[in-house]
Amino acid sequence: MKKLLRIRWLTILVALALALIPAGSAMALPTADVTITATPEYLSMTNSEPTWVMNAVAEATTYWWTVGGAAPSPEPFEAEDMKSTVTNLGSVISDVKIHGHDFTAATLPWALDIDGSPGSDNVTIKWGITGTTNVAAMTFLTLSDVEIMDSLAATDGTEKWCMNLLTGTFTSGEAQTGIVTLTIFKHV
Amino acid sequence: MLKKTLVTLAVMGLLLAVGCTQVPVAAQREEPVVPKTAASLDLIATATPATPMPTEAEPGKASFNTEPESDIEIRLINQTWASPAEVKIGNFYPGARAEWEIKIHNGNDIWTEFFVSYMVSDEKREGYALAPVEAKDWVIIEDSTPVLAPKETKKILVVLYIPEGVAVPDKKWEFWTVAGEVSARAVQIQMATRWLVSCR
């Protein structure tokens, strides 16, 4: 009987020892665990004029994406001449960056030119906002992000903007599709 | 006798089961608590709607997962949005894994395809470096082309995993994930979540 009791105690002790082994390895974890924190902030924006349909264009000509379809006047640029309004609907003060893309076409897509003198199958696009000093002060649209709007107030902060496009020469008369990307992000 | 032995064995089994319970090694989360999704490291997948995509929402019929979780979400029910704006990862190290679910919401009245992708911006928080080139391989986005029902909010798991032994050039660095609608519009909009990583 005594022997049987000893065996039973031994069994329990072995079970306890086995149970403690994983706990021991857990205690050997790094002292500071990786942490992740985030607050429920929301990013949301609208752009009132999402398209620019140009139809047929001529070589070496400037086209305007403004209310009147012409260069803003007077200068500096006034809000009434700007084509589109960006509104920050999110819950945080935010900035907006802009970048362009080369065009797409069936065979000979245009490339974005960034020096203001587009050549064969090149076009230059520039952008401006309310308050831009004049046409010369507009900024070239490139493949890289550039900040276009700063510190838009949360919920309803707005900024108005416009663009122009200067064509180069064409080796094909096919349709071209271009994209401009606006990226909204938290202002710090 | 047999009964006692069986009881002993049952106790052993119970103790073993308790002892083998893993202590979570993954990142500790702070409020708000987001349900964690189990995920492996090769989770890039293309979403397919469970049902055929109708061109418009059926009038008077709510889509799934449309219940707003806060006043802001109620205000933004008809807008497309992403959240959070910023995620901070602390005490990170090669070999560790951190994960967070970003939420995207389809404010449209039609099914809409979205994109979620990794991005490095030249914009960075003071004291942080730009993410190293290799970081694009360390960030795994569970579903990079989700398709959302009208007014649906979807959680997309983003995992940061740096293989053990890899040298990270800067202790503090920043990368972005961007989300937006796939559209044919000339002006496209994307929303960028800033990820701030601090390594040990």
User: What pLDDT is recorded for position B140?
Assistant: 98
Q: Is residue B193 part of a domain?
A: yes
B39: pLDDT confidence band, cut at 50, 70 and 90? very low
CA distances to B41, B121, B193 from B190, rounded to whole Å, are: 25, 13, 10
Contacts of B197 in chain A (CB under 8 A): none
Share of chain B above pLDDT 70, in %: 67
Give residues with Cβ within 8 angstroms of B41, minimum separation 6.
B140, B159, B161
Q: Is residue B44 part of a domain?
A: no
Give residues with Cβ within 8 angstroms of A151, minimum separation 6.
A93, A94, A95, A157, A187
Query: Which of A14 and B108 is assigned the larger pLDDT?
Result: B108
Q: Is residue B63 part of a domain?
A: no
B 91-110 residues with CB < 8 A to A: 91-93, 96-100, 107
Threshold 0.80, pTM exceeds: no
Share of chain A above pLDDT 90, in %: 80
Q: Which helix (H) or strand (E) holds B107?
A: none
Residue B183 to residue A179: CA distance in whole angstroms: 10
pLDDT at B17 over 80: no
Residue B110 to residue A10: CA distance in whole angstroms: 68
How many H helices and E strands in chain A? Answer: 1, 11
User: What pLDDT is recorded for position B35?
Assistant: 32
Q: Is residue B197 part of a domain?
A: yes
A175: region left, alpha or beta (phi > 0 left; psi from -120 to 50 alpha) = beta
At B152-196, the pLDDT tens digits run 999 999 999 999 999 999 999 999 999 999 988 899 999 999 999
How large is the average pLDDT for residues B70-76?
A: 95
SS3 of residue A152 by DSSP: strand
Residue A57 to residue A114: CA distance in whole angstroms: 19
**A2-27 vs B2-19: helix crossing angle, rounded to 10:** 10
Distance from the Cα of residue A151 to its chain's centroid: 15
User: What pLDDT is recorded for position A54?
Assistant: 92
Query: Which of B22 and A127 is assigned the larger pLDDT?
Result: A127
CA distances to A49, B46, B118, B176 from B136, rounded to whole Å, are: 33, 19, 7, 10
In B53-79, which positions are buried (b, 16+ CB within 10 angstroms) versus exposed (e)?
A: eeeebeeeeebeebeeeeebbebbeeb
How large is the average pLDDT for residues A30-56?
A: 91
At A90-140, the pLDDT tens digits run 999 999 999 999 999 999 999 999 888 899 999 999 999 999 999 999 999
Q: Is residue B55 part of a domain?
A: no
pLDDT at B20 over 50: no
User: What pLDDT is recorded for position B8?
Assistant: 56
Residue B103 lies in domain: 75-200
**Contact call for residues A97 and A107 (beta carbons, < 8 A):** no
Residue A64 to residue A74: CA distance in whole angstroms: 15
Q: Is residue B30 part of a domain?
A: no
Query: Which of A9 and A86 is assigned the larger pLDDT?
Result: A86
Output DSSP code: residue A72.
Answer: -
Give the residues across from B160 on adjacent strands. Answer: B98, B139
How large is the average pLDDT for residues A21-46?
A: 72
Amino acid code (one letter) for A17: A
Contact A182 B190 (CB under 8 A): yes
Q: Is residue B152 part of a domain?
A: yes
Q: Is residue B156 part of a domain?
A: yes
User: What pLDDT is recorded for position A5?
Assistant: 57
At B87-134, the pLDDT tens digits run 999 999 999 999 999 999 999 999 999 999 999 888 889 999 999 999
Question: Which one of B189, B196, B197 makes the best mutation probe of the A interface by having the most chain A beta carbons within 10 Å?
Answer: B189
B 133-172 residues with CB < 8 A to A: none
Lowest mean pLDDT among B4-8, B51-55, B165-169: B51-55
Of B22, B27, B93, the CB nearest to A35: B27
Query: Which of A152 and B1 is assigned the larger pLDDT?
Result: A152
How many H helices and E strands in chain B? Answer: 2, 11
A73 closest CA partner among A85, A84, A82: A82
Q: Which helix (H) or strand (E) holds B74?
A: helix B71-75
Return the CATH number at B157: 2.60.40.10
Measured in angstroms, the CA of A69 and the nearest CA of chain B are apart by 17
Total domains in the fold of chain B: 1
User: What pLDDT is recorded for position B92?
Assistant: 97
